[in-house]
């Protein structure tokens, strides 16, 4: 029996445990589609979209070096001290060395919501094999 690829859409705000073991294919910003290949790409596409808005950019710059977990900083003005930094903008790097569930949780709850980004307008297309 062959494996069948099945794609489905899930809101970014869904419980993050639903992302574990799934493969992201596309980020949907209302009707705009951006193809992705990994959870790190999902993180970067959404965070860059947030950063493109001048108001959100200002808030992200304020959040640098202030939002952190127990060991690592989530947003910083430099990549020093991050395990796997991802450059979002000049003087703005994000830590992406997490699994899908944790990465999306950090993105939503510690970065996007404090920056004022509308997480409810974003959905993900995920692929599952049967």
Provide the pLDDT for residue 1: 56
Strand partners, 27: 34, 124
Low-confidence residues in the chain, pLDDT < 70: 1-2, 129-130
Provide the pLDDT for residue 13: 94
How far apart are alpha carbons 68 and 86 in whole angstroms?
A: 15
Provide the pLDDT for residue 81: 80
Provide the pLDDT for residue 56: 94
Provide the pLDDT for residue 34: 97
CA 22, 24, 28 angle in degrees (round to 5)?
135
Provide the pLDDT for residue 114: 94
Provide the pLDDT for residue 65: 83
pTM for this structure?
Answer: 0.89
């Amino acid at each position: 029996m062959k494996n069948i690829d099945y794609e489905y859409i899930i809101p970014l705000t869904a419980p993050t445990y639903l992302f574990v073991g799934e493969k992201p294919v596309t980020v949907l910003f209302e009707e705009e589609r951006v193809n992705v290949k990994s959870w790190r790409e999902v993180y970067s596409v959404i965070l860059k979209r947030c950063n493109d808005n001048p108001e959100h950019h200002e808030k992200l710059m304020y959040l640098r070096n202030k939002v952190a977990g127990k060991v690592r900083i989530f947003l910083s003005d430099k990549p020093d001290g991050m395990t796997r930094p991802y450059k979002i903008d000049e003087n703005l790097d994000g830590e992406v060395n997490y699994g899908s569930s944790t990465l999306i949780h950090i993105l939503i709850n510690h970065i996007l919501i404090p920056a004022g980004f509308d997480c409810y307008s974003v959905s993900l297309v995920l692929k599952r094999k049967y």
